[in-house]
Amino acid sequence: MKQETLLLFCIILLYGSFSVFGQGSSCENLDPFCAGDEELVFPNSNTTNSNIVNGQPGPDYGCLLSQPYPAWFYLQVEETGNLRFDISQFQNEDGGGSQYDVDFIVWGPFDRTEDYCTDDSLSELNIVDCSYEPDTVEQMFIPNAEEGQVYVVLITNYEELPGFISLRQTNSDQANSGSTDCGILDEVLGPDRFLCGQNETTLDATTDGVERYEWFRFDNTTNNFEIIANEEDPTLTITNSGRYKVIVYENITGQADEDEIEVTFYSEPVANTPEDLYLCDPNQTTIDLSAASAEILNGNSAEENYRVNFYESIQELEAENPISNPTAFPVEESREIVAQVEGTESGCLSNEVIFNVELTFVPENFLPAESVICVDVDGTVLDQQGIGEDLGTDYTYEWIAGGNTISTEAVLNFTETPNFNSVSLIVTDIRSGCTIEFNTTLLVYSRPETVEVEIEGSDFTGGYIISAEATPGPGNETTYEYSADNGNWQGSTVFRNLDPGNHTISAREINGCGITTSEEFYLVGYPRFFTPNSDGYNDTWNIENTTEIQIKKLYVFDRYGKLIKELTPGGAGWDGTYNGRTLPADDYWFRVEFEKDGTNDHFGANFTLKR
d(CA 332, CA 352): 24
| Span 296-307, average pLDDT | 90
Hey, do 6-181 and 193-266 end up sharing a CATH topology, with the first three levels equal? no
Task: Please report which confidence band the pLDDT of residue 548 belongs to, taking 50, 70 and 90 as the band edges.
Answer: confident
Kind and range of the H or E element at 401? Answer: strand 395-401
d(CA 351, CA 311): 13
Task: Please report which confidence band the pLDDT of residue 28 belongs to, taking 50, 70 and 90 as the band edges.
Answer: confident
Task: Please report which confidence band the pLDDT of residue 384 belongs to, taking 50, 70 and 90 as the band edges.
Answer: confident
Q: Is the pLDDT of residue 399 over 80?
A: yes
| Span 216-223, average pLDDT | 94
pLDDT in tens, 468-482: 999 999 999 999 999
Contact 148, 112 (CB under 8 A): yes
Q: What is the tally of helices (H) and strands (E) in the chain?
A: 2, 45
d(CA 313, CA 303): 29
Q: Which amino acid is at 388?
A: G
Of residues 145 and 49, more confidence is placed in 145
- Sketch the domain layout of the chain as residue ranges: 6-181, 193-266, 277-359, 370-446, 450-523, 529-609
pLDDT in tens, 183-219: 666 678 888 888 998 999 999 998 877 888 999 999 9
Q: Any idea which fold 193-266 has? A: Immunoglobulin-like (2.60.40)
Q: What are the backbone angles phi and psi of residue 94, rounded to the nearest 5°? A: -85, 10
Q: Is the pLDDT of residue 413 over 70?
A: yes
| Span 251-267, average pLDDT | 85
Q: What are the backbone angles phi and psi of residue 29, rounded to the nearest 5°? A: -110, 40
Q: Which amino acid is at 77?
A: V
Q: Any idea which fold 370-446 has? A: Immunoglobulin-like (2.60.40)
Torsion angle of C-alpha atoms 337, 340, 344, 348, degrees rounded to 10: -160
Kind and range of the H or E element at 522? Answer: strand 521-523
Q: Is the pLDDT of residue 113 over 90?
A: no
Q: Is the pLDDT of residue 7 over 60?
A: no
List all residues 6 or more positions away from 245 whose beta carbon is below 8 Å from its beta carbon: 215, 216, 217, 218, 225, 258, 259, 260, 261
Task: Please report which confidence band the pLDDT of residue 326 belongs to, taking 50, 70 and 90 as the band edges.
Answer: very high
Let me know if 408 is exposed, middle or buried by CB neighbors in 10 A (0-12, 13-18, 19+): exposed
From the list 156, 106, 129, the residue with the least C-alpha distance to 4 is: 156
d(CA 312, CA 295): 19
Q: Any idea which fold 6-181 has? A: Jelly Rolls (2.60.120)
* CATH for 529-609, options being 2.30.30, 3.40.50, 2.60.40, 2.60.120: 2.60.40
Let me know if 267 is exposed, middle or buried by CB neighbors in 10 A (0-12, 13-18, 19+): middle
Q: Is the pLDDT of residue 345 over 70?
A: yes
pLDDT score recorded for residue 9: 29
Contact 461, 433 (CB under 8 A): no
| Span 327-332, average pLDDT | 93
d(CA 111, CA 129): 18
| Span 439-449, average pLDDT | 95
d(CA 554, CA 575): 15
Chain length of the chain: 611
| Span 557-563, average pLDDT | 94
Contact 453, 466 (CB under 8 A): yes
In 302-434, alpha helices (H)? 314-318
pLDDT in tens, 76-98: 898 999 999 999 999 999 889 99
Q: Residue 445: left (phi > 0), alpha (psi -120 to 50), or beta?
A: beta
Q: Is the pLDDT of residue 137 over 90?
A: yes
Neighbours of 566 (CB within 10 A): 11
Per-position DSSP letters for 173-202, written without gaps between them: TSTTB-EEE--S--STT-S-EEEES-S-EE
- The SS3 call for residue 295 is helix
pLDDT in tens, 562-611: 999 999 887 889 999 999 999 999 999 999 998 887 888 888 889 999 98
Percentage, residues of the chain above pLDDT 70: 94
Model pTM score: 0.48
b/e for 503-517, b at 16 or more Cβ within 10 A? bbbbbbbeeebbbbb
In 225-280, alpha helices (H)? none
Pairing of strands 256-266, 193-196: parallel
In 235-358, alpha helices (H)? 293-297, 314-318
pLDDT score recorded for residue 24: 60
Contact 593, 602 (CB under 8 A): yes
pLDDT score recorded for residue 297: 95
CATH 2.60.40.10 fits 450-523, yes or no: yes
- The SS3 call for residue 155 is strand
- Taking CB atoms within 8 Å and a gap of at least 24, the contacts of 90-98 are 90/136, 90/163, 90/164, 90/166, 91/161, 91/162, 91/163, 91/164, 92/163, 92/164, 93/41, 93/164, 95/166, 97/163, 98/161, 98/163
Q: Which amino acid is at 83?
A: L
